[in-house]
Amino acid sequence: MNFSTITIFLYFFVINFALLQSANIDISKFGGKPNGDISKALTSAWAEACSSTTASKIVIPSGTYQMTHVEVKGPCKAPIEIQVDGTIKAPPKPEDVSGEQWLRIGYVDQLTMSGNG
């Protein structure tokens, strides 16, 4: 192999490696803050991740968050990981959840949940 062939090979290797890396989508990008309700932020982060053509990771950082009813669904274009490093609290009274379920995720393949929360 000559130098230009090696350079081209390395270029494509780096490009492919970068494409395989998941994009992190922090809920703070959508207004998710500790001690606040993250329902809308999580829904917005999901919409971005679900429409992405590359793997995405929704990140809920350390902290304590409130969440009312959240419903998200696919089909999504690429794998999604939800990394929960914080604590998510449901409303204290079940009747305060505005829906049948607190969190509902439907019509999704390749979903991973991870984190320390």
Looking at the structure of the chain, the number of domains it has is: 1
Q: What is the mean pLDDT of the chain?
A: 85
What is the pTM assigned to this prediction?
0.79
| Containing structural domain, residue 32 | 22-114
**Amino acid 18: pLDDT:** 44
**Amino acid 115: pLDDT:** 93
How far is 39 from 67, CA to CA, in rounded Å? 5
- Secondary structure, 3-state, the chain: CCHHHHHHHHHHHHHHHHHHCCEEEEHHHHCCCCCCECHHHHHHHHHHHHHCCCCEEEEECCCEEECCCEEEECCCCCCEEEEECCEEECCCCHHHCCCCCCEEEECCCCEEEECCC
Asked whether residue 10 is domain-assigned, the answer is no
**Amino acid 17: pLDDT:** 46
Asked whether residue 26 is domain-assigned, the answer is yes
How far is 112 from 117, CA to CA, in rounded Å? 14
**Amino acid 51: pLDDT:** 96
Distance in Å from the first CA to the final CA of the chain? 50
How far is 113 from 95, CA to CA, in rounded Å? 27
pLDDT tens for 20-58 read 556 899 999 999 999 999 999 999 999 999 999 999 999
Asked whether residue 11 is domain-assigned, the answer is no
Which pLDDT band holds residue 14 (cuts at 50, 70, 90)? Answer: very low
Asked whether residue 101 is domain-assigned, the answer is yes
Asked whether residue 98 is domain-assigned, the answer is yes
pLDDT tens for 68-116 read 989 999 999 999 999 999 999 988 887 777 767 888 999 999 999 999 9
Asked whether residue 73 is domain-assigned, the answer is yes
Asked whether residue 2 is domain-assigned, the answer is no
Asked whether residue 5 is domain-assigned, the answer is no
Per the CB < 8 A criterion, the answer to whether 82 and 55 are in contact is: no
